[in-house]
């Protein structure tokens, strides 16, 4: 089954109302106006998972910065290193009291390229120690009096590196006053209420995640890890979207699972799998749909082996698996492809059964429908005999039995 993931984003603008970024906020449903989550660490994990995996940085941020709230445990976690530093501002929430360990962690992340914001700052609370390390300081203009804000701004203006953000700016008068006070950026209902976003996502199976975590921990052969990833449609989809996200800055699309794993590396892969396990829903993809998708992917791969290079065979596996995403996610294929960076050949096959891979995908689908006339016609066009196609189909079915997919 698929499930929905929800996120809200509120714009942060400059004095001319130009958008510079979004604050990303976890939501438990499409109607929720707040996080509705007892644990800020779990809320932070959910935002990370949505940003990295379910929605994707390109579609979600549209080239702007993401301000992501983090508490002490989240800041200390290894999950942070999965984020693209050039697109993220880590917003240290007001409940964080800095100690030596946390300050060292902020310095380490700053060296890695991350920027920081202090949320709802008030002086003389122990959080002043973080001021030399942050790029943004946010003041709650609804909570603090104007006299108090003016006093704080005078102090902060002595720190030329920190840009001031006025939060909860809800009227024209408040905006004008904050501009006069010297704030650089602004956020609040005067500009926009948080925009609710939803994506239909597939949940990977817990058993597969645990098995992969154990394999990565034991430094298993990359071919065995690739084989395990191939058994889970959701993981294949999420991995390729993550590795092709703008954060990696790759010059070409990655379509091979093995290539994706080799680029990511074992330690980041372990963290990514752990993040998925921590945020995985209770509704993985329908076993029947998953089985059909993976069988179709394997059949496309085998059919392509008669005439195509290994790289094309890898692409054909992805083509076959992804061809069922429309049914799995109950979302039109063109909308799915808007959030997924894949080659034109794969996209053309998925959308129109055209291009280099489309005829093979169409043949695989004909095998499932047991239409001998169509199988013969499509096979002839690919210079394959019905006997070759039947053999490949049986091999694909045997492979599914061998890997033990329920």
Question: Which residues, 6 or more positions from 244, have their beta carbon under 8 angstroms from its beta carbon?
Answer: 250, 253, 254, 340, 341, 342
Of 166, 198, 230, the residue at which a domain comes to its end is: 198
Q: Which residues of 260-293 are buried (b: 16+ CB within 10 A; e: fewer)?
A: bbeebebebbbbbbbbbebbbbeebbbeebbbbb
Question: Which residues, 6 or more positions from 371, have their beta carbon under 8 angstroms from its beta carbon?
Answer: none
Q: Is the pLDDT of residue 41 over 70?
A: no
What torsion, rounded to 10 degrees, do the Cα atoms 59, 62, 67, 69 define?
Answer: -10
Please answer whether residues 130 and 159 qualify as being in contact, where contact means their C-beta atoms are separated by less than 8 angstroms. Answer: no
**What are the residues facing 103 on neighbouring strands?**
none
Of 198, 225, 260, the residue at which a domain comes to its end is: 198
* Residue 208: domain span: 203-279
Residues 90 and 109 reside in one and the same domain: yes
Residue among 54, 34, 36, 115 at smallest CA distance from 80: 115
User: For residue 132, what are its two tokens?
Assistant: 């030399």
Residues 316 and 190 reside in one and the same domain: no
Residues 180 and 216 reside in one and the same domain: no
Mean pLDDT for the stretch of residues 73-78: 85
Candidate ranges 45-54, 201-210, 293-302; pick with highest mean pLDDT: 293-302
Per-residue pLDDT tens digits for 327-368: 877 778 988 787 666 789 999 999 999 999 999 999 999 988
| DSSP code at position 353 | S
* Overall number of domains in the chain: 3
Residues 32 and 10 reside in one and the same domain: yes
Residue 168 pLDDT: 93
Distances in Å between the Cα of 35 and the Cα atoms of 26, 190, 320, 351 are: 5, 21, 37, 37
Rounded Cα distance between 116 and 80, Å, is 12
| DSSP code at position 87 | G
Rounded Cα distance between 151 and 162, Å, is 16
Residues 332 and 264 reside in one and the same domain: no
Rounded Cα distance between 26 and 376, Å, is 52
User: For residue 238, what are its two tokens?
Assistant: 């999420």
Residue 32 pLDDT: 39
The confidence band for 125, taking pLDDT boundaries of 50, 70 and 90, is: confident
Residues 69 and 87 reside in one and the same domain: yes
Question: Which residues, 6 or more positions from 272, have their beta carbon under 8 angstroms from its beta carbon?
Answer: 52, 82, 239, 242, 264
Residue 140 pLDDT: 94
Give the CATH number, domain containing residue 63: 3.20.20.450
Residue 342 pLDDT: 75
Please answer whether residues 245 and 272 qualify as being in contact, where contact means their C-beta atoms are separated by less than 8 angstroms. Answer: no
Residues 47 and 171 reside in one and the same domain: yes
Q: What is the three-class DSSP state of 166?
A: strand
Per-residue pLDDT tens digits for 245-301: 645 666 667 768 888 888 888 888 887 776 676 555 544 456 667 778 878 888 999
Of 167, 198, 229, the residue at which a domain comes to its end is: 198
Q: Computed over its alpha carbons, how large is the radius of gyration of the chain?
A: 25
Residues 45 and 163 reside in one and the same domain: yes
Kindly report which listed range (45-49, 130-134, 293-297, 375-379) carries the lowest average pLDDT score. Answer: 45-49
Residue 3 pLDDT: 46
Residues 242 and 262 reside in one and the same domain: yes
Where do we find the tokens 């990696």? Answer: 248
User: For residue 339, what are its two tokens?
Assistant: 């959030």
Length of the chain: 406
Residues 327 and 361 reside in one and the same domain: yes
Residues 240 and 364 reside in one and the same domain: no
Residues 245 and 118 reside in one and the same domain: no
pTM for this predicted structure: 0.57
Q: Is the pLDDT of residue 322 over 90?
A: no
């Amino acid at each position: 089954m698929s499930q929905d993931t929800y996120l809200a984003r509120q714009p942060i603008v400059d004095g001319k109302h130009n958008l510079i970024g979004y604050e990303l906020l976890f939501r438990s449903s499409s109607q929720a106006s707040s996080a509705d989550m007892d644990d800020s660490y779990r809320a932070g994990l959910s935002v990370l998972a949505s940003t990295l995996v379910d929605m994707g940085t390109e579609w979600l941020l549209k080239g702007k910065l993401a301000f992501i709230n983090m508490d002490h445990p989240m800041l200390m976690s290894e999950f942070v290193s999965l984020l693209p530093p050039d697109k993220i501002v880590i917003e240290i929430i007001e409940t964080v009291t800095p100690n030596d360990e946390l300050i060292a962690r902020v310095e380490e992340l700053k060296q890695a390229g991350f920027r920081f914001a202090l949320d709802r700052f008030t002086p003389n609370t122990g959080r002043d120690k973080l001021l030399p390390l942050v790029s943004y300081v946010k003041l709650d203009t609804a909570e603090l009096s104007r006299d108090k804000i003016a006093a704080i701004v005078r102090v902060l203006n002595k720190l030329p590196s920190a840009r001031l953000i006025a939060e909860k700016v809800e009227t024209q008068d408040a905006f004008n006053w904050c501009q006069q006070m010297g704030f650089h950026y602004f956020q609040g209902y005067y500009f926009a209420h948080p925009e609710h976003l939803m994506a239909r996502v597939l949940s990977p199976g817990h058993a597969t995640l645990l098995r992969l975590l154990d394999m990565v921990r034991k430094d298993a052969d990359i071919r065995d890890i690739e084989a395990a990833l191939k058994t889970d449609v959701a993981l294949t989809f999420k991995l390729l979207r993550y590795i092709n996200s703008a954060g990696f800055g790759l010059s070409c699309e990655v379509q091979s699972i093995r290539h994706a794993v080799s680029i990511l590396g074992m330690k980041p892969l372990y963290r990514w799998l752990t993040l998925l396990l921590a945020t995985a829903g209770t509704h993985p993809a329908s076993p029947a749909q998953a089985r059909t998708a993976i069988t179709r992917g394997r059949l496309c791969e085998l059919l392509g082996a008669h005439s195509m290079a290994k790289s094309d065979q890898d692409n054909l596996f992805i083509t076959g698996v992804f061809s069922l995403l429309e049914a799995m996610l109950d979302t039109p294929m063109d909308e799915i492809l808007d959030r997924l960076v894949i080659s034109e050949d794969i996209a053309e096959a998925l959308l129109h059964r055209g291009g280099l891979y489309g005829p093979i995908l169409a043949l695989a689908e004909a095998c499932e429908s047991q239409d001998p006339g169509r199988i013969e016609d499509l096979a002839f066009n690919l210079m394959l005999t019905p006997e070759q196609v039947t053999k490949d189909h049986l091999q694909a079915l045997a492979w599914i039995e061998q890997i033990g997919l329920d």
